């Protein structure tokens, strides 16, 4: 059990680590040879070039201006200077709204911490329940006297905790309501002012029914010409081009090596042609002329790619029952994406297409009917992963304590009993052990999300994020409390009657706050500071630059830092919301550590978003309802845990007054869901019509079909055939096109209209075929 002194040692270690990271970052970011690592976003935008210095050779690699080192923290105010509208233009709405999550944490927890320390801490401290002479069967420390565990059973002081729980709930809901409203307005404004994008006019059609007479492409065209005759423009069927993508990727790699050896040969003074070995990694094998070897291999791959491309284009099995369908107007796309297309709700399924950058092409080749099976399999796998993972976490929790270390390695007892070592183990080791144990989890969850078949990178990240949060709730939060409490109070459980166990658990659970404080300091202080240092990208860039970079394109790929990582960053934030809301009324001593995390993380990630991260896609903050829902769920969990805790404290008179809190919170969630969530799920027809009207007025001669014709062509076709012109027949946008069908008509005579009694107009067979059952 960590004491105040132990937490002080842990805080000192983490503060010193964070400060050291900042100092090292301040030095490294000023060096010219690190410029592409710490400012890559400006390179990708073409607004920054490698720093050049005249004079000594060393100045090309080392900054010799010592005055710049004095202001080593000037990056912090610089990160806060950029206003939010400019940040949205620079990094996108997703990045700007992601930063607002940290601001919400500050808005919620700063007032809560002030009230909790002003009211609850004195109420808890002025008791003596945890005096070891009075309660000898519970292990506790001085910091636990600040918690609700120090309040005696049946005390009238619990009314303070209940009143504070109501105040905290109302304040949290108020902040969430205002933030939801603000983000919804930001999203609608962003969509209204955003430049033209292909996804505004396009829907993804899944589960196209098979037809014996027509191909998928013909079937899609006929269906939308009939059912959306005034708005349908063009379409692109989905191919299973995964094998072709592998060949193209291999060819790109070969071409890169060919460029490298050609450049090497052109710079050679003695005109010696470069040689290479054909074995693994060039370590062994026959020596051959490198340029001729790669030219031959590229030619072979080009032939293989041409054959595979021909096979994909002509093999009906390579064409999936799905297509990207584009419309003449945003209004037409909105109507199609948000309505049912057929009387059979399992076919002709439509949804908004992700923007081309956001499409995860490999999963488009998965048959729609197999998605439910895949998701069932992953659901079962995630269940076992979550609950069986609790076993090693419990072991880590047991060994990351003084008693656990002494039992596992008795010969270390004299060392761990030393005062400083004891403080380090109690105040630092549990947090770092858990942090290291979870390092591979994001990769596992992302693989599972890809297996489930989500068709966009944003949906993959949202799926992985939701499961990461659920996993951390079960294992990190509940697992640490249950496992840690069981191990620490093991003697109490063994030597007391069964009726006393709930009481002991009720007193002991708030004491687990000391573990979470150590975790927050390791992950939320030192971990966030390490984020800005970017040690892993720094090392990888220089290794690639020294050993692998052969062309300027290679250098761009080597310095690509990736995006924010929503699938890992957002669940981590939600864990801090959960801890803050749960322990606000139970152990307020945890709140200052939470506030430091939110403040530090906001500054660090604002700097990273401005200078480093290169967002792969733009979803216009589509993730916000998930963020809101998880904060509300954390609020409900905190209320239920407080209710259970007061029940063990025999506060029978006051506890029932907590019943209304979860009910009110659920009502608040349903209100927000009905009031604001449609802005994140659907696109208002009024907004679509307004934007279409403005666009027609500004660009009356816009060739929209030419703009959309190849927007959703599989990128592998563009990569493997950049020089080939896309074969397309340009028809006028307003021309009504009827394509003769190959299907035999099911009726020969049109039936009278039920509305007018007159004969139906004479239409081609295709119209009758889709208009009638």
| pLDDT given at position 725 | 43
- pLDDT of 177 over the 90 cut: yes
Judge whether 765 lies within some domain. no
Query: Is 237 in the same domain as 324?
Result: yes
Q: How do residues 253-311 score in pLDDT, each as one tens digit? A: 888 788 778 877 777 766 778 777 776 666 667 788 888 888 888 888 888 888 888 88
Query: Is 598 in the same domain as 478?
Result: yes
| pLDDT given at position 491 | 52
Average pLDDT over residues 543-569: 75
Query: Is 44 in the same domain as 167?
Result: yes
- pLDDT of 733 over the 80 cut: no
Query: Is 653 in the same domain as 505?
Result: yes
- pLDDT of 415 over the 60 cut: yes
Query: Is 661 in the same domain as 587?
Result: yes
Query: Is 457 in the same domain as 340?
Result: no
Instruction: Give the residue from 641, 667, 683 where a domain finishes.
Output: 683
Query: Is 424 in the same domain as 511?
Result: yes
3-state secondary structure of 347: coil
Judge whether 242 lies within some domain. yes
Tell me which residue of 671, 708, 661, 540 sits closest to 165, measured CA to CA. Answer: 661
- Residue 66: pLDDT band with limits 50, 70, 90: low
Average pLDDT over residues 461-470: 93
Task: Give the burial class of 621: count Cβ atoms within 10 A of its Cβ; 0-12 exposed, 13-18 middle, 19 or more buried.
Answer: buried
pTM exceeds 0.75 for this model: yes
- pLDDT of 635 over the 90 cut: yes
Judge whether 707 lies within some domain. no
Residue 395 has which token pair? Answer: 């072991």
Average pLDDT over residues 638-646: 86
Judge whether 667 lies within some domain. yes
Query: Is 162 in the same domain as 260?
Result: no
* φ/ψ bin of 268: left (φ > 0), alpha (ψ from -120 to 50), beta (otherwise): beta
Distances (CA, A) of 554 to 32, 195, 252, 255, 559: 19, 31, 11, 11, 9
- Residue 761: pLDDT band with limits 50, 70, 90: very low
- pLDDT of 644 over the 90 cut: no
Judge whether 757 lies within some domain. no
Helix axes 624-648 and 158-193, enclosed angle (nearest 10): 170
Average pLDDT over residues 175-191: 93
What's the rounded Cα separation, in Å, for the pair 414 and 401? 15
- pLDDT of 176 over the 90 cut: yes
| pLDDT given at position 653 | 76
Average pLDDT over residues 707-733: 61
Instruction: Give the residue from 354, 377, 392 where a domain finishes.
Output: 354
Judge whether 102 lies within some domain. yes
DSSP string, 138-171: S---GGGGGSGGGSPTT-TTHHHHHHHHHHHHHH
| Average pLDDT of the residues of the chain | 79
Query: Is 558 in the same domain as 456?
Result: yes
Average pLDDT over residues 116-133: 75
* Domain range enclosing 138: 4-196+368-683
| pLDDT given at position 767 | 38
Specify the DSSP class assigned to residue 357. Answer: T
What's the rounded Cα separation, in Å, for the pair 766 and 560? 50
- pLDDT of 179 over the 70 cut: yes
Beta bridge partners of 292: none
| pLDDT given at position 88 | 92
Query: Is 311 in the same domain as 373?
Result: no
| pLDDT given at position 136 | 47
- Within 10 A of 276 (CB to CB), how many other CB atoms are there? 17
Query: Is 173 in the same domain as 220?
Result: no
**Percent of the chain surpassing pLDDT 70:** 75
The better pLDDT of the pair 724, 50 is held by: 50
Judge whether 266 lies within some domain. yes
- Residue 763: pLDDT band with limits 50, 70, 90: very low
């Amino acid at each position: 059990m960590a004491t105040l002194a132990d937490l002080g040692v842990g805080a000192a270690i983490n503060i010193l680590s964070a400060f050291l990271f900042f100092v090292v970052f301040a030095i490294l970011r000023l060096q010219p040879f690190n410029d592409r690592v710490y400012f890559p976003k400006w390179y990708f935008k073409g607004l920054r070039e490698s720093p050049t210095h005249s004079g000594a050779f060393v100045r090309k690699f080392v900054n010799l201006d010592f005055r710049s080192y004095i202001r080593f923290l000037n990056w912090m105010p610089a990160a806060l200077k950029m206003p939010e509208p400019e940040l949205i233009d620079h990094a996108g709405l997703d990045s700007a709204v992601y930063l607002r999550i940290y601001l919400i944490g500050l808005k919620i927890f700063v007032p809560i911490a002030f009230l909790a320390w002003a009211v609850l801490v004195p109420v808890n401290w002025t008791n003596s329940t945890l005096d070891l002479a009075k309660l000898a069967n519970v292990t506790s420390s001085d910091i636990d006297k600040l918690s609700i565990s120090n309040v005696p059973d049946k005390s009238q002081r619990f009314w303070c905790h209940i009143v504070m729980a109501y105040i905290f709930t109302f304040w949290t809901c108020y902040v969430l309501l205002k933030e939801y409203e603000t983000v919804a307005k930001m999203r609608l404004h962003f969509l209204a002012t955003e430049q033209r994008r292909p996804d505004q006019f396009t829907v993804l059609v899944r589960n196209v029914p098979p037809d014996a007479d027509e191909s998928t492409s013909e079937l899609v065209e006929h269906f939308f010409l009939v059912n959306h005759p005034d708005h349908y423009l063009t379409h692109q069927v989905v191919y299973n081009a995964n094998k072709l993508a592998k060949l193209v990727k291999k060819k790109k790699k070969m071409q890169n090596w060919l460029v490298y050896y050609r450049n090497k040969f052109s710079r050679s003074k003695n005109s010696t042609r470069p040689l290479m070995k054909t074995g693994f990694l060039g370590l062994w094998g026959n020596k051959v002329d490198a340029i001729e070897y790669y030219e031959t291999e590229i030619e072979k791959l080009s032939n293989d790619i041409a054959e595979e491309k021909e096979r994909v284009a002509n093999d009906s099995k390579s064409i999936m029952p799905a297509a990207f369908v584009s419309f003449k107007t945003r209004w037409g796309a909105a109507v199609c994406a948000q309505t049912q297309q057929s009387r059979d709700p399992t076919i002709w399924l439509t949804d908004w297409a992700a923007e081309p950058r956001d499409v995860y092409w490999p999963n488009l080749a998965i048959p729609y009917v197999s998605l439910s099976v895949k998701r069932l399999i992953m659901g079962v796998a995630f269940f076992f992963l979550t609950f069986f993972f609790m076993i090693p976490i419990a072991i880590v929790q047991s060994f990351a304590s003084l008693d656990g270390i002494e039992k596992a390695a008795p010969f270390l007892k004299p060392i761990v009993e030393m005062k400083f070592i004891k403080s380090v183990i109690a105040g630092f080791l549990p947090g770092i052990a858990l942090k290291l144990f979870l390092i591979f989890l994001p990769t596992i969850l992302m693989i599972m999300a890809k297996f489930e078949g989500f068709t966009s990178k944003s949906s993959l990240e949202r799926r992985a994020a939701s499961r990461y949060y659920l996993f951390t709730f079960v294992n990190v939060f509940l697992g640490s409390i249950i496992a840690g409490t069981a191990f620490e109070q093991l003697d109490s459980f063994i030597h007391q009657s069964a009726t006393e166990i709930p009481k002991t658990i009720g007193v002991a659970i708030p004491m687990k706050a000391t573990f979470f404080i150590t975790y927050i300091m390791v992950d939320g202080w030192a971990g966030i500071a390490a984020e800005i240092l970017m040690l892993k990208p720094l090392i990888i860039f220089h290794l690639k630059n020294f050993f692998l970079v052969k062309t300027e394109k290679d250098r761009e790929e080597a310095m690509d830092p990736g995006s924010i990582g929503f699938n890992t960053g957002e669940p981590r934030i939600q864990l801090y919301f959960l801890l803050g809301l749960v322990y606000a009324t139970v152990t307020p001593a945890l709140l200052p550590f939470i506030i430091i995390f939110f403040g530090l993380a906001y500054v660090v990630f604002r700097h990273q978003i401005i200078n480093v991260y290169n967002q792969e896609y733009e979803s216009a903050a589509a993730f916000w309802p998930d963020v809101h829902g998880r904060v509300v769920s954390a609020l409900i969990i905190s209320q239920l845990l407080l209710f259970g805790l007061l029940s063990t404290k025999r506060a029978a008179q006051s506890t029932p007054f907590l019943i209304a809190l979860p009910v009110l919170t659920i009502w608040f969630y349903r209100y927000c869901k009905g009031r604001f969530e449609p802005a994140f799920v659907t696109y208002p027809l009024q907004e679509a019509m307004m934007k279409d009207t403005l666009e027609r007025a500004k660009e009356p001669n816009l060739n929209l079909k030419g703009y959309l014709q190849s927007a959703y062509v599989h990128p592998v076709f563009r990569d493997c055939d950049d020089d080939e012109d896309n074969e397309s027949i340009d028809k006028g946008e307003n021309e009504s096109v009827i394509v003769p069908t190959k299907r035999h008509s099911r009726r020969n005579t049109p039936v009278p209209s039920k509305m007018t009694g007159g004969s139906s107009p004479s239409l081609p067979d295709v119209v009758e075929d889709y208009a009638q059952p």
